[in-house]
Amino acid sequence: MVRAIGGTRPGGPDALGEFDLVAEPIGPGQVRVRVSGATVDPADTMIRSRPRRDEAGAVRVPGMEVAGLITEIGPAVDRPFAIGDAVMAIVVPSGAHGGYRADLVVPARSVTKIPAGLSDVQAATIPMNGLTARLALDTLALPADVDGLVDAAVLPCSNGAAFAGGSSCGSADRPSRGAAHDSESVVTTGEAATEP
């Protein structure tokens, strides 16, 4: 059994409780993370506060960003991960699958190694900020020679996190400048983080 924080009814923080849930099975292209840090995002409050007719009485676990250690690697994972790697991940909550679990299975492409010097709590706050910055840059479709604005938009992921194209928050056509990173790409340009 896996400890999780979730709810069975809509409401405020008081609607959350502790539950013992069945461990999620791991499949191809996925990794299992022992969660040690998770964030509270606006989307989490919506998950918690809005009723869903199709899930009446079912446990709903919020949580879109986590950090922790890889404890298992599924088949067909083509990323350079090892058991024990400290990682952060984007989670797409659905029913009992959410970041407020002690143990979580996510697609390997939604995971990246935690940059040196960051705690798990700090690292858990990076994925959605980096993805938001990347999506903002993609939406703006700025020419490659624009300065200043691009640096400001990339700032949330400049501590070593990599969320698009190669080893920085940039892409092949719009590289991020001024930071050396050792992380791998989580979301490449034009690709969304999805879960089964």
pLDDT (tens digit, 9 = 90+) per residue, 4-26? Answer: 999 988 888 898 999 999 999 99
Indicate the pLDDT class of residue 55, thresholds 50, 70 and 90: low
This prediction's pTM = 0.72
Structural domains for the chain: 2-120 (3.90.180.10)
Q: Which residue has the tokens 């300065």?
A: 147
Higher pLDDT, 102 or 166: 102
Contact, 162 vs 179, CB < 8 A? no
pLDDT of residue 23: 95
pLDDT of residue 179: 32
Question: Does position 163 have pLDDT exceeding 50, yes or no?
Answer: no
pLDDT of residue 51: 66
What sign does the dihedral 167-168-174-175 (CA atoms) show? negative
Q: For residue 162, what are the β-bridge partners?
A: none
Distances (CA, A) of 179 to 39, 132, 176: 25, 19, 8
Nearest residue to 118 via CA among 64, 158, 82, 83: 158
Contact, 142 vs 111, CB < 8 A? no
* Structural element, H or E, at residue 132: helix 126-140
pLDDT of residue 38: 94
Considering the chain, what percentage of its residues have pLDDT values greater than 70? 70
Q: For residue 88, what are the β-bridge partners?
A: 67, 112
Reduce the DSSP state of residue 161 to 3 states and report it. coil
pLDDT of residue 18: 96
